[in-house]
Structure formats: structure tokens, C-alpha cells
Amino acid sequence: MKRILIFLSLFLPMMAMAGEQAKSVNLAVFQLMHAGDEFEGVVEGALIPFLSEMKGKKLLAMIHTEGAYDGNIITLQTSVLQDNAGSLGDYGVDCQLSFHEEKDEGDIIYTLGGVCRVNRIGRGKSEKYVLVITPTPIPATTNESEEWYLFDEDEEAGVGFFVNIGHQ
């Protein structure tokens, strides 16, 4: 009996996810470079056309994740650590985002939310931003076209967060 319970405890979670299809979640963080610039809410195109549309904006971080399931936490982190007058300076982005997938009358609704930190400390700058991103609905990418969605923006920091969700 003990062996059966151990077997079930090891394989039951995998069997429960067997019917689900993993998603790829692509995230990109950009910074506005000029006063008066704005981010578009939706940018069409696969990766290269998307990046071309973002000209004039600085790419701070980008990741491609595979194997995302409902309830997973997706992290994005990039930093340059440097000496800042005897202490540590940090230029970078650090995000922990919760990914959820809900089915509602046959439609699939994805949400993404969490906390992102944007730091620019050192070399004459001392900027820290903590951005709380409320769970935001994200449409799935269709097979006909790919789209990138602005799911959050911090106007004070001039930073925009884009996502593209599709099947692996």
C-alpha cells in the first residue's frame, strides 16, 4: 500500500498536467528615450518585426520561456553590478511574475502580474522603481499573426513591459 501511495504522489501531478499544453511566454522590457514618446498598446509581428517597431526605445531585457503552466512564476532578471564609491551600484531589471490560465466558456484567458524592480544606481544616478503589476488579462497569440501586448507601463520610470503568449 505504501508503494502505491508513493507512486501516486510522484506521478499524479504529472498526470494532472498531461491534458494541459505548455505555453511559451515571451517578455520584453523597454525604456522610452525621448520626452513625449509613448508605447503602443499592441505591436504586431514576430520577434524581428516587433523589435523593428520599437526603434527609438531602449531594450532593457528580453526572455523567451517554454513550458509555462497555470500557476507558474516567471522570472526575468538582468543586472550590471558595479562599484559605486565603495558600495554596490546596480543597473537592471528584476521581475517575478505569476502566470495564470483560465478557461471561460471555451475561451482561454491568460493573466500575468507580480512585482518588477528597475534600478539605476551608480555613475551619477540613484533611481529605484518598484512596480506592482496587477494581474492583467493577456490574449493568446493566434496562428494567423503574432502580437505583443503592453501589459504594464510606468510613466515615471519611462518603462514598458510587453508580452507575447503562444503554444510551444
The DSSP result for 79-142, as a single string, is: EEEEEETTEEEEEEEEEEEEEEEEEETTEEEEEEEEEEEEEEEETTEEEEEEEEEEEEEEPPPP
Position 163 in a domain: yes
- Whether the CB-CB separation of 61 and 78 falls below 8 Å is answered with yes
Amino acid 162: pLDDT? 96
Q: Which domain holds residue 98?
A: 21-167
Amino acid 108: pLDDT? 85
Position 14 in a domain: no
Position 144 in a domain: yes
All residue ranges of the chain with pLDDT < 50 are 4-8, 10-18
Position 112 in a domain: yes
Amino acid 88: pLDDT? 75
Amino acid 4: pLDDT? 46
CA distance 168 to 68: 9
Position 9 in a domain: no
- Cβ-proximal residues to 143 (8 Å cutoff; 6+ apart), any chain: none
Position 15 in a domain: no
